[in-house]
Structure 1
Amino acid sequence: MKQSLFTFIKSLREFLANKLNQYNTTLPYVITVIVALVIVVGGINLFVELTETLKTEMLASYDTAITDYIIYYRTPGLTSYFKFMTLVGNAYGYLIVLAVFLLVSLLVFKRWKYVLQATLVLALATGSNMMLKRFIDRARPSIEHLVSVETLSYPSGHAMSAMAFYGFLIFLVTKFNINKVMKYVLIIALIIIILSIGISRIYLGVHFPSDVAGGFIAGFIWVVFCILIFDLIELFRKDPKT
């Protein structure tokens, strides 16, 4: 994405140079940020479209059908697995993962900024999720809950945070200079974690499938936006013309 951003900014700079005799050298970056915001707004619009269908009978039927299908396969082994995965998506789970990631970043990659970036993405997703829950005010499913919950239902905080945090880690893994097999293994493992955390919330009876879908969409919006901004900041710092 960084190379694409660089190419876009270079093309934008050449366009502005041809059209304007003089312009502020930071203008291409400002325009790029605006484009990034437009992308985010488009994602939010998709999120809002899903939100507006929450009370429709069609979505309710899909929620019921998917939930019934998933909980039909409840077994002691799967219950233990999904309870563990839902713990991975809790605050303590992220603290442990961040601590391990910090050690790896400092000892292997000699960079701590990746941990700071991942923490920021997680914080943005978590904070915005709390606001969205209060604004939308959707109650939890009325079926049996296998774990205790206290907050509202939509969007799923576990799904949103998992997509934002582990999705951003997937992006970082693609940048790391490591063995290709190891890179693919890590990416697949992170995808499984994201999906398992989302499915766990349906399996445990504490979320509707649409809650998880909404959380995934909102989390992905934060991933894309933060990657754009982080890459843009790095390009801006290295640009000799600014």
Structure 2
Amino acid sequence: MRQALYAFIKSVHKFLAHIFHEYNTKLPYLITIIIALMVVVGGINLFIELTETLKTELLARYDSSITEYIISYRSPSLTSYFKFVTNVGDFYGYLIVLGIFLVVSLFVFKRWKFVAQATLVLALATVSNMMLKRFIDRARPGIEHLVSVETLSYPSGHAMSAMAFYGFLIFLVTKFDIHRIAKVLILTVLVLLILSIGISRIYLGVHFPSDIAGGFIAGFIWVVFCVLVFYLIEIFRRDSQT
């Protein structure tokens, strides 16, 4: 991805040089960022349009059947597990994970920027989720809630934040120079954690399955966008030093 992005920026350089004899050398980076923003905004608009068109009887049946299937497995042990998992995807859960990640980044990888990047991705997902909830204004499921909730339903904030935060950690782990078995183990745990957080919200009765799907999609958009921007910054700094 980095090579493709770098090649794209270089092609923009050549294109602008052909049209303009003198131009700001940072313009290609600005153009790339604008394109990335357009992609994200376009993705959000598509997400909203799809959300509006999916408010049909078919979706209601889909949500109902999946919810009934998942809650049919309710048991004291599973309830305890999913309550724990849903807390991992909540405010205090992220504080603990960020604290652990900070220690690992500082003392193992000697890089604090990873924590700053992960925190930024999480913040963007959280703020945008609140905006989307207010815009779409979907009520919670009318079934028994095993945990207390106060906000609106769509998209799921837990699912969106989990995909954005833990999804970005997955990206970072793929870059870390660690033992292959350890890397595979960490990646597996993170993937299972994302899925478990999403399922927990259905199991606990506080979200429709479509809420979770929407949250995962929106969170993934933020992961892709932030990875692109961070690569741009890295390339920009490298070019500035040469």
* Corresponding position of 2:210: 210
Contact 1:159 1:212 in 2 (8 A): yes
Code of the residue aligned with 2:60 in structure 1: it is A
* Corresponding position of 1:220: 220
User: Is residue 2:119 matched to residue 1:119?
Assistant: yes
* Corresponding position of 2:22: 22
Code of the residue aligned with 1:136 in structure 2: it is I
Partner deviation per Cα, 1:97-140 (whole Å, 9 max, x = no partner): 00000000000000101101111111111111112112211111
Code of the residue aligned with 2:85 in structure 1: it is M
User: Is residue 2:67 matched to residue 1:81?
Assistant: no
Contact 1:12 1:28 in 2 (8 A): yes
Structure 2: distance between partners of 1:84 and 1:47: 30
User: Is residue 2:34 matched to residue 1:47?
Assistant: no
Structure 2: distance between partners of 1:176 and 1:73: 38
Which stretch shows the higher mean deviation, 81-90 or 174-183?
174-183
* Corresponding position of 1:145: 145
2:37 is paired with a residue of what secondary structure? Answer: helix
* Corresponding position of 1:104: 104
User: Is residue 2:65 matched to residue 1:65?
Assistant: yes
Structure 2: distance between partners of 1:199 and 1:44: 23
Quick one: percent identity of the two aligned structures? Answer: 75
Which stretch shows the higher mean deviation, 222-231 or 102-111?
222-231
Which stretch shows the higher mean deviation, 119-128 or 7-16?
7-16
CA shift, 1:241, in A, is 8.1
CA shift, 1:54, in A, is 4.6
CA shift, 1:41, in A, is 2.5
Structure 1: distance between partners of 2:214 and 2:43: 11
Contact 1:164 1:219 in 2 (8 A): yes
Code of the residue aligned with 2:121 in structure 1: it is V
User: Is residue 2:36 matched to residue 1:32?
Assistant: no
Q: Looking at both structures, which has the greater relative contact order when contacts are Cα pairs under 8 Å and sequence separation is at least 6?
A: 1
Structure 1: distance between partners of 2:89 and 2:241: 43
User: Is residue 2:155 matched to residue 1:155?
Assistant: yes
Over the aligned positions, Cα root-mean-square deviation in angstroms equals 1.5
Code of the residue aligned with 1:212 in structure 2: it is I
* Corresponding position of 2:174: 174
- Scaled by the length of structure 2, what TM-score is found? 0.95
User: Is residue 2:242 matched to residue 1:237?
Assistant: no
Code of the residue aligned with 2:58 in structure 1: it is M
Structure 2: distance between partners of 1:162 and 1:53: 25
* Corresponding position of 1:4: 4
CA shift, 1:21, in A, is 2.5
Contact 1:132 1:155 in 2 (8 A): yes
- Scaled by the length of structure 1, what TM-score is found? 0.95
* Corresponding position of 1:132: 132
Code of the residue aligned with 1:60 in structure 2: it is A
Which stretch shows the higher mean deviation, 176-185 or 200-209?
176-185
Structure 2: distance between partners of 1:10 and 1:182: 37
Unaligned runs of 5+ in 1: none
Give the length in aligned residue pairs: 242
Structure 2: distance between partners of 1:109 and 1:133: 37
Query: Compared with structure 1, are the counterparts of its residues 130 and 240 closer, same or farther at alpha carbon in structure 2 (3 Å cutoff)?
Result: closer
Structure 1: distance between partners of 2:35 and 2:213: 25
User: Is residue 2:56 matched to residue 1:56?
Assistant: yes
Structure 2: distance between partners of 1:53 and 1:85: 31
CA shift, 1:68, in A, is 1.0
Partner deviation per Cα, 1:130-156 (whole Å, 9 max, x = no partner): 121122111110011111111111110
